[in-house]
């Protein structure tokens, strides 16, 4: 065994660090710093999230607590929910065809 093949704790630590970095990359979900939140009322927000796109039925801009228009918003939320359901069904059907 030559001097180059000697156990080097620095190299060992470096390899360990590389291994851990790769491990964590595999474990942690993708992070989107500019993820968009779309509300049924039409308002959009940008936040950091592990989901690229988020759709909500109610937000601070349309919640009845802030607006007092409870019935109107409830109807809008249902329409959006139905549309989203149809869109998902269409996407699934398209995937199956491939
Ligand atoms: Zn809203």
Instruction: Identify the domain containing residue 34 by its residue range.
Output: 29-97
In a domain, 24, yes or no: no
Please tell me the total count of domains within the chain.
Answer: 1
- Cα of 94 from ligand 1 centre, angstroms: 30
> In whole angstroms, what is the distance from residue 41 CA to residue 75 CA?
10
Looking up residue 37, the CATH number of its domain turns out to be 4.10.80.400
In a domain, 20, yes or no: no
- Cα of 97 from ligand 1 centre, angstroms: 35
- Cα of 35 from ligand 1 centre, angstroms: 16
* Dihedral sign of CA atoms 32, 28, 60, 53 in order: positive
- Cα of 92 from ligand 1 centre, angstroms: 27
pLDDT tens-place values along the chain, 98 residues long: 445 556 677 777 776 776 666 656 667 788 899 999 999 889 999 999 989 999 988 888 888 777 776 555 555 667 678 788 888 988 888 888 76
């Amino acid at each position: 065994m030559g001097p180059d093949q000697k156990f080097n704790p620095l190299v060992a630590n470096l390899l360990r660090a590389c291994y851990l970095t790769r491990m964590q990359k595999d474990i942690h979900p993708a992070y989107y710093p500019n993820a968009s939140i779309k509300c049924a009322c039409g308002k959009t927000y940008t936040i950091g999230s592990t989901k690229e796109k988020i759709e909500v039925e109610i937000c601070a801009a349309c919640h009845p607590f802030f607006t007092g228009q409870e019935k109107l918003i409830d109807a809008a939320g249902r329409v959006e929910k139905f549309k989203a359901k149809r869109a998902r069904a269409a996407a699934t059907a398209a995937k199956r065809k491939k």
